[in-house]
A = this chain, B = another copy of it.
Amino acid sequence: MKAATELADFRLRHTLRVRWAEVDPQNIVFNGHYLTYFDIGITEYWRAIGLPYPDGIAGTGGDLFAVRSVINYHASAHFDEFLEIAVRAAKLGNSSMTFEMGIFRDGERLISGEMVYVNADPESRTSRPLPEKLRKAIDVYEAGGPIG
């Protein structure tokens, strides 16, 4: 699968507006807040595939924990700008999955990155296979199938 680099490469897009409290004295969004933006986008992803977090995911028998995040900062976002958070499930492993992430402003890619989650037992944190229902919902969604 070709890497997602343009807004059109993502089915899931969610718009938000930069808050004053997210901007630092350099007049740009503080680098850590992009992970909050990623998280918001992924919440919308679960909703879009019909498994709203946390109950929808729990209903499949899954419990997901972040194991890796990568952010590449291409350009800065500023106060009050509208940003589009773009999310694509790029890789489904046995117990882990990878989201490709993008943040765009007027079609310009400001941020690219990825979030890797593993399905794990909430008590022991030992990994478990991704639930079949979760896997299928993602496959249908990314193939352009009906939502939910």
Contacts and interface: CB of A to CB of B under 8 A. Distances in A.
Interface stretch (A65-73, A100-108, A134-142): A65-73
A73 B65 contact: yes
B30 A32 contact: no
Main SS class of interface, A: mixed
Nearest to A23: B25
Interface string A18-44: 011101111100111111101110010
A80 interface: yes
Given A19-B36, A25-B25, 10 more contacts: A20-B25, A21-B36, A21-B39, A25-B79, A30-B36, A31-B35, A54-B79, A66-B73, A68-B70, A68-B73
